[in-house]
Amino acid sequence: MALITIHNGLLAFGDHPLLDQADFALQENERVCLVGRNGAGKSTLMKVLAKEVLLDDGKMQIMQDVVVSRLEQDPPRDQQGTVYDYVAGGLAEAGEQLRIYQDLLDLVTHSPTDANIKKLSAVQEQLDHTGAWRFEDRINNVLTALKLDGQTKLTDLSGGWQRKAALARALVCEPDVLLLDEPTNHLDVTTIEWLEGFLKDFRGSIIFISHDRTFIKSMATRIVDLDRGKLNSFPGNYDQYLVEKEDQLRVEEMQNAEFDKKLAQEEVWIRQGIKARRTRNEGRVRALKKLREERSQRREVQGKVNLKIDDGSRSGKIVFEAENLCYSIDGKSIVNDFSFNIMRGDRIALIGPNGCGKSTLLKLFLGELTADSGRLHCGTKLEVAYFDQYRELLDPEKSVIDNLADGKQEVMVAGRPRHALSYLQDFLFAPKRARTPVKALSGGEKNRLLLARIFLKPNNLLVLDEPTNDLDIETLELLEDLLANYQGTLLLVSHDREFVDNTVTTSWIFEGNGVIEEFVGGYHDAQQQRQQVLQARLADVEPVKSVKAVDKPAKASEVKPKLKKLSYKLQRELEELPAKLEQFETEIETLQLQINDADFFSQPVEHTQPILDKLAATEQALEVAFERWEELEAMQQES
């Protein structure tokens, strides 16, 4: 028997119903992934299942004595009390008893009077009687796994950590049905993998919303697709759903085309009938009216986000160069003795647990922070576009269009003026929605707006800090395709394992204590190489070295070179070479622009040949200078 059923569910907000005669049934021990576009109504459906929102029509039934617990997408930020109090609150009466016990325990610690000790003993007896002690261990285990301090005030936590607390609250109560809205948001990969194991051991049914495809593939036993108010069930795994969904849309497109053809034929008939005769087939007229009504009620498939990056001019060959870089916060080492080169076109993911320093390292790159020691050199001609995971670049009080265009009607797209409303429609903001304050947007809409803003600016260096949070999967895949064709340099922080695998060629893994290791490939490739290194070290043999990208020196975290002091002449030559390299690259770009002109080869050979000769000579000079730079760098590294 189903735990929860919805029959002919109707729920309307705005122009279109979120649920339109929708049917749904949840069986025991299912793990159902609810998918759909941003704004389709997934989070609202979760509130319906939790009895927080009532259907306008239709019927929802929950089996008697079934306990439902929901993780909110955005937990309340004004909740008072400690993290422990908030998490224990998910246990109803037992949680209240444990909260009182913790408060009395703190009171007795600071004021061990007979009266306080007597109160504590009474609560202990009550906990013994109700068996609520078993939840104490569960609360502490979940808090430990999520790295939460139970005594911290909830209001002192950032939004990401408050979300972790909300997840803990949903997990501790052992419900029959667990509703999880984007449970992996703001979690690092280690915690996501712990969550997967925890949920697989959960004895109950789960309905979850997630954009993390690796998480979905690991967890889901069934996919339910919320599309234009209908709930369509797809048994099996996520990959199978993608195939069946594509087939379903193809059949729908063919049926719609056939319907539209018939409607067009009937419209021609009715017009001809008016001209040719006064008497018409009234049955056919009524059928035409029904066709018109059916066509007007059709809800088309929502369009796709139209993502385009305005590639800026080419940056210099060296984007960033660092030597023995160090940075710490309150005595904690974030980056320790790290040396690296980032070359034009590199695509690097920064991977590690929350708080390890990934965003801090990005701020060092962007010049928002200054290293404690070491050298960090930024290349020339850098045009940076920065995606901020906390969306601090958006003004919540301003409308969508004002955040984009700052009160103007037009924006420059690829060097050409375009109406701001038209550009926003590429990111699925209808004109009415474009005038909505940002504070009223969903998380996915805020991310789409931030992408719209940063893609306006020509750039050759993309710095993306958690860009995938709250995006629907279709938009996420379009972003992947866009980045795959991006000609500039990419620095990415993301806990979405499949997204990392599909977008980068190098991974920097933060091992702790400021140590950063470099591996070739995305997340899973890096983890395999990392395991080989760790196993080799445990076996006390020479470690298997991670493969290095071409033209990249070994990192300080792998090899700790003792720098050799060059002679004054060689040292000065080494310092001057980067400027020469930039000069040669600029000359080459200028010459190539002349050669690429459509009329270049129609000119006399005495005019074109010197330019071609100069290009060849400059390219040769660049190659020689670069080899010399590598040679001097190697000499300096020799022990």
Q: Does position 553 have pLDDT exceeding 50, yes or no?
A: no
* Percent of the chain whose pLDDT exceeds 70: 87
Q: Residue 327 — very low, low, confident or very high, per pLDDT cuts 50/70/90?
A: very high
69: three-class secondary structure by DSSP: strand
Per-residue pLDDT, averaged over 405-425, amounts to 86
Q: Does position 542 have pLDDT exceeding 70, yes or no?
A: no
Binding-site annotation, residues? 36-43, 352-359
Q: Rounded to whole angstroms, what are the CA distances from 199 to 193, 455, 542?
A: 10, 38, 39
223 strand-pairing partners:
33, 234
72: three-class secondary structure by DSSP: coil
Give DSSP secondary structure letters for 509-547.
EEEETTEEEEEESSHHHHHHHHHHHHHHHHTTSPPPPPP
DSSP3 helix / strand / coil % (the chain, rounded to 5): 45, 20, 35
Place of tokens 């998480």: 215
Place of tokens 């395999």: 528
Average pLDDT over all residues of the chain: 82
Q: Which residue has the higher pLDDT, 593 or 86?
A: 86
CB contact set of 353 (below 8 Å; sequence gap of 6+): 188, 189, 190, 191, 510
| pLDDT at residue 559, as a whole number | 37
Residue at 597: amino acid letter: D
pLDDT tens-digit map of 469-518: 777 787 788 788 888 888 889 999 999 999 999 999 999 999 888 999 99
* Count of alpha carbons within 13 angstroms of residue 104, beta-carbon side: 18
Q: Does position 563 have pLDDT exceeding 60, yes or no?
A: no
Residue at 383: amino acid letter: E
Q: Rounded to whole angstroms, what are the CA distances from 227 to 19, 250, 462, 466?
A: 9, 15, 33, 27
Distance of CA 316 to the CA centre of its chain: 29
pLDDT tens-digit map of 4-54: 999 999 998 766 788 989 999 999 999 999 998 877 889 899 999 999 999
Binding-site annotation, residues for ATP? 36-43, 352-359
- What gap in Å lies between CA 255 and CA 298, rounded to an integer? 12
Q: Rounded to whole angstroms, what are the CA distances from 78 to 75, 168, 395, 479, 506?
A: 9, 17, 21, 34, 41
Q: Residue 546 — very low, low, confident or very high, per pLDDT cuts 50/70/90?
A: very low
Distance of CA 491 to the CA centre of its chain: 14
Of 99, 11, 204, 528, residue with least CA distance to 221 = 204
Q: Does position 312 have pLDDT exceeding 70, yes or no?
A: no
pLDDT tens-digit map of 101-111: 888 888 878 88
| pLDDT at residue 308, as a whole number | 66
Give DSSP secondary structure letters for 149-166.
-TTSBGGGS-HHHHHHHH
Q: Does position 141 have pLDDT exceeding 80, yes or no?
A: yes
Q: Which residue has the higher pLDDT, 639 or 478?
A: 478
Per-residue pLDDT, averaged over 201-215, amounts to 93
Mean pLDDT is lowest, of 258-262, 386-390, 510-514, 544-548, for 544-548
Give DSSP secondary structure letters for 144-207.
HHTT--TTSBGGGS-HHHHHHHHHHHHHHT--SEEEEESTTTT--HHHHHHHHHHHHT-SSEEE
* Count of alpha carbons within 13 angstroms of residue 124, beta-carbon side: 8
Of 114, 81, 116, residue with least CA distance to 101 = 116
Mean pLDDT is lowest, of 14-28, 219-233, 273-287, for 273-287
Radius of gyration of the chain (CA): 31
| pLDDT at residue 63, as a whole number | 94
Domains of the chain: 1-67+176-255 (3.40.50.300), 77-174 (no CATH), 303-383+459-560 (3.40.50.300), 396-457 (no CATH), 568-637 (1.10.287.380)
Residue 305: DSSP 8-state: P
**Burial class of residue 466, CB neighbours in 10 A (0-12, 13-18, 19+):** buried
Q: Rounded to whole angstroms, what are the CA distances from 125 to 97, 98, 116, 137?
A: 11, 12, 14, 17
- What gap in Å lies between CA 44 and CA 11, rounded to an integer? 9
Q: Which residue stretches of 209-353 are H helix?
A: 213-219, 238-276, 282-296
Distance of CA 245 to the CA centre of its chain: 23
- What gap in Å lies between CA 71 and CA 96, rounded to an integer? 19
| pLDDT at residue 601, as a whole number | 67
